[in-house]
Amino acid sequence: MEQVVVNGLYLGAQYALIALGLTLIFALMNVLNFAHGQMYVLGGFVTYTIYGQMKLPFVLALVCSGLTLAVVGAFCEKFLFRPVIRRSKRDESTMLLAAAIAFLLDAVILLLFGEKQRGVPKIINGVFLSDTIVMPYDRIVVGVVAIVMIATFVLYMQYSKTGRAMRALAQDRVAAQLMGVNVERYSMIGFALGAMLAGVVGGLLVTITGISSGIGGPISIKAFMMVMIGGAGVVGGAIAGGFILGMMESVGLTVLREFGDITYLVIFVCLMVFLSIRPNGLMGKPWG
């Protein structure tokens, strides 16, 4: 059982980090970024190229993944989402735009990096062994880094000037504007930060799970599930959603294995029941 719990915590830390960027963008701009998974994949491929192919230090590769995606995110916000939000009153417009960006990124990534699954050398070798728990050191490192990054992100949002401005923006866009917050600037920073998080997670996890061009869609779906569990647009909710999903997966795959692959079936049923009782998720607020 200890192994199941450790697996769940480790998966949860991964998932929470994936969901953070998605929920941040939603909170700031009310945009469901369907391209979040593709941004994760792009980040993974940047790390693969720099660390796996060019043999440069992993930390440098991770920084480059973050910066690349921050630029991509800022570009998307300024030149794509901002004009659409300004001209269209309908939420579907941004959703369609996000879906189009997802398809575009999918195609570009396939062209640039090919169809094969890619992997990089392990960042640390060896396995932690005890009587009840087996966990490779690189997974422990990635899990710890993920938790540190989540904590840093929460502190940044809580105490930095930029973080406060973005929180104000998330709470009430008009009020924040009236209080002197530069809405356009902080929207762009927020989108860049969300995309950067996706890129960094992709870069971080390429050392464990590798990366391939077609996984963006499934990653996005999982991220949406976590956000729905925790509550859309709430940072704490995304973290909680990530850990809950990770734990449910780990427990389900162990307890329900004799019945075939019904773990996700059970998770989806639980999610439907949960949302019918609590449509805003654990920590979400009613729309509008």
DSSP labels for 185-227? HHHHHHHHHHHHHHHHHHHHHHHHH-B-TT-HHHHHHHHHHHH
Q: Burial level of 282, CB count in 10 A (0-12/13-18/19+)?
A: middle
Q: Of 146 and 283, which CB lies nearer to other proteins in the complex structure?
A: 146
Among 138, 105, 108, CA closest to 123: 138
Q: Of 128 and 287, which CB lies nearer to other proteins in the complex structure?
A: 128
Match 């449509």 to its residue by tokens: 279
- The reply to whether 245 sits near other proteins by the rule CB under 8 A is no
Report the distance separating Cα 88 and Cα 261, nearest Å.
43
- The reply to whether 145 sits near other proteins by the rule CB under 8 A is no
Q: Of 44 and 73, which CB lies nearer to other proteins in the complex structure?
A: 44
Whole-number minimum distance, CB 2 to other proteins, in Å? 11
* Binding piece for other proteins, criterion CB under 8 A, among 59-67, 120-128, 171-179, 237-245: 120-128
Report the distance separating Cα 61 and Cα 203, nearest Å.
7
- The reply to whether 47 sits near other proteins by the rule CB under 8 A is no
- The reply to whether 172 sits near other proteins by the rule CB under 8 A is no
* Binding piece for other proteins, criterion CB under 8 A, among 90-98, 164-172, 174-182, 254-262: 254-262
Element containing residue 128 per DSSP (H, E): strand 127-129
**Cα dihedral sign, 53-54-55-58:** negative
Q: Of 104 and 155, which CB lies nearer to other proteins in the complex structure?
A: 104
- The reply to whether 253 sits near other proteins by the rule CB under 8 A is yes
Three-class SS state of 286: coil
Report the distance separating Cα 63 and Cα 40, nearest Å.
14
- Contact with other proteins (CB under 8 A) among 20, 188, 208, 225: 208
Whole-number minimum distance, CB 241 to other proteins, in Å? 17
- The reply to whether 259 sits near other proteins by the rule CB under 8 A is yes
* Binding piece for other proteins, criterion CB under 8 A, among 73-81, 182-190, 225-233, 245-253: 245-253
Match 């979400």 to its residue by tokens: 284
- The reply to whether 198 sits near other proteins by the rule CB under 8 A is no
Longest dimension (CA), the chain: 61
- The reply to whether 139 sits near other proteins by the rule CB under 8 A is yes
Q: Burial level of 134, CB count in 10 A (0-12/13-18/19+)?
A: exposed
- Contact with other proteins (CB under 8 A) among 55, 185, 257, 278: 257
- The reply to whether 213 sits near other proteins by the rule CB under 8 A is yes
- What are the residues binding other proteins (CB under 8 A)? 3-4, 7-8, 10-11, 14, 52, 106-107, 110, 114-122, 127, 129, 134, 136, 139, 205, 208-210, 212-215, 217-219, 249-250, 253-254, 257-261, 264
